[in-house]
A and B are shown apart, each in its own frame.
Chain A
Amino acid sequence: MKILVCMKQVPQKDAPLKLNESSAWIREDVSYEVNEPDAYALEEALRQKEKHSGEVVVITAGPARSRQVLREALAKGADRAIHLEDPGFVGLDAVNTARAFAAAIKDEKFDLIFTGLQSDDYGYAQTGVILAELLGWPHATIIMQIEKSDSGIRVKRELEAGYFQFVDMPLPAVLTIQSGINKLRYATLIGIKQAKNKPQRKVPLAEVQPALGSNMQKIERLYIPQKTKNTEFLEGSPGEVAKKLAEKLRNEVRVL
């Protein structure tokens, strides 16, 4: 099976975020990491390849810094990487990101494309499904299990509140992967060494530009959300805070 995995670089989970001068985006001088479900998507692709052989290709769209995501993926076992490299990719809406991917892979033939179910920064929860529609492929979202079947694949979709559903579908297909579908592996030293010699294709913005349109949605402003609740902050040394908490538990919450 030939599998493409879309992996995005996003600000680290506990990175303190600051607005930029225009208040339309964040200041980019923060630490980054792989979008969490995308790491699970890569792991799943590697496992499928180990079972059925084939090839795992990773793709990302972002500035030079996002190459780190591809490096890590190659070190974990991906066979090659495609980097849509330009700071301009950061500002695309989900439709244009999907168009850029579709344009970049137009000469390839994949059986499966994996994306994460949602990005930590934009949180559109859309890119994978849009890509499927652009390619004319079927899709399934929030996937927790993938088995090859005679006619294609059988996937397990997560539904709300602890429900699940199996779905049979033909290939090629796009799947959006949920965190927790498998256990992540670490890169090995050998893997890190080998990664350096694996093929990486760079795709400049100009190459996919003809496939893009103007963004159909626009961030007017970005801001720190207003508090809606009257939160009481308890301060002091750990010992003092513990005393204050116990006092609240006794007198206000009445559980002691």
Chain B
Amino acid sequence: MPDTILVVVEQREGKLNRVSWETLTAGQAIAAETGWTLEAAVVGGSVATLASEVATKKVAKVHAVESPRLEPYTPDAFVAALKQFLSSKKAKLVLMPHTYQVRDFVPKLATAMDRTVISDCIGYKKEGDKLVFTRQMFQGKLAADVSFACDVPWFVTFQSGAFRGDKVEAAAAVAPVETVKVEIAENVVRNKPHEVFKEAKQAVDLTQAEIIVSVGRGIKEQKNIELAKQLAEALGGELAASRPICDSGWLPMDRQIGSSGQTVAPKLYLALGISGAIQHIVGMKGARTIIAINKDAEAPIFEIADYAVVGNLFDIVPPLIEEVKKAKVGS
């Protein structure tokens, strides 16, 4: 029998998130290259509908892993369920999206099974018989190819945006769905989660902005924000920031771009003194044009910039404001 790749997709309130489709695409690609069989699992209180949705994609089988205790999500229940399931469903490779929920339980699951997780991967390579997984290190400044040095199952999580969710292949014939009822004793679950909520309404909606000037820690001091503001005003755009700027209270939280802030896709995103950590990139890489000004030629932001300036923002922004003003008057 060929080995199995199992993709555990993530659902919340009956919807699969985008990264789940991306991880399925990854699973399909690895299956095609290795000849291993691809299967999927949906975990939750009652997930039959979602499982049938996944079954329309090119997978050999979908497992609906169910227990009333899986709703709402807790790490204890998820680990109990998946450990039980994986003791009968022997998989070689277990793939999951690197979401906040997966980071919350997958290290516990792997440890409970005496295994390891290669986390937050952006790709894989098949080198002869060996599979290696590529992940970012040092905040994206370096990349590493990492291999497993332990028995299977091998756990891997993939970063948001690493694969194309819209490229997931459809099935020629709908895959069979198998319901797996797991038993989770009441005393297993120790955490009591409350409802998920959003903080008070956002004052600005950056998703509608055409032009965004965004500041990072390179701005150094709160009073220097004024400089970026002047540039934003000259361009007729909105001001935004990386997380540390909002953490310091230099700009309100609703101006934060990234995985824990807003996701934007403006015509122009001008990044001033932002290093380009993945949690920031996921919030702005959809911009049509990205301009980055950073004094470090190796800053990861330059990997996704269309136009790049290696230099001190305090030297470049003041004349840029003047040039923009001049151009506006002239037009």
Contact = CB atoms under 8 A, between A and B. Distances in A.
13 contacts: A93-B116, A129-B105, A129-B111, A138-B190, A158-B260, A161-B263, A167-B194, A170-B190, A218-B147, A232-B306, A235-B310, A242-B320, A248-B307
Interface string B92-107: 0000000110011101
Interface of A: 11, 13-14, 16-17, 19, 26, 36, 93-95, 98, 120-126, 129-130, 132-134, 138-142, 158-170, 179-180, 183, 214-225, 227-229, 231-235, 238-239, 241-243, 245-246, 248-250, 252-256
A242 B147 contact: no
A140 B190 CA distance: 11
B118 interface: yes
Contact of B303 (A169, A170, A228): A228
Interface in B297-330: 298, 300, 302-312, 315-316, 319-320, 322-324, 326-328
A134 B107 CA distance: 11
Nearest to B151: A216
9 closest Cβ contacts across the A-B interface?
A180-B247, A216-B116, A246-B323, A242-B319, A216-B150, A126-B107, A129-B107, A238-B315, A138-B190
Given A26-B142, A249-B324, A255 B210 contact: yes
B226 interface: no
A141 B100 contact: yes
Contacts of B198: 162-164
Interface of B: 75-76, 99-100, 103-105, 107-108, 111-112, 115-120, 132, 135-150, 190-199, 202, 210-211, 217, 235, 243-244, 246-247, 249, 259-263, 267-268, 275, 288-289, 291, 296, 298, 300, 302-312, 315-316, 319-320, 322-324, 326-328, 331
A154 to B, nearest CB: 9
Contact of B298 (A16, A242, A252): A16
Contacts of A158: 100, 260
Given A234-B307, A249-B268, A13 B149 contact: no
Contact of B191 (A133, A168, A217, A228): A168
Nearest to B105: A129
Contacts of B309: 233-234, 241, 245
A158 B258 CA distance: 13
Contacts, number: 250
Contacts of A159: 100, 196
Contacts of A233: 308-310
A166 to B, nearest CB: 4
Contacts of B260: 158, 160-162
A242 B323 contact: yes
Contact of B103 (A11, A125, A216, A235): A125
B303 A227 contact: yes
B147 A255 contact: no
B300 A225 contact: yes
Contact of B243 (A123, A179, A228): A179
Given A17-B142, A126-B117, A217-B116, A164 B199 contact: yes
Nearest to A155: B191
A123 B142 CA distance: 12
A123 B306 contact: no
Nearest to A179: B247
Contacts of B140: 225
B320 A231 contact: no
Contacts of B119: 123-126
A129 B189 CA distance: 16
Q: Which of A179, A215, A217, A219 has the most CB of B within 10 A?
A: A217
A169 B189 CA distance: 10
Contacts of A163: 196-198
B308 A219 contact: no
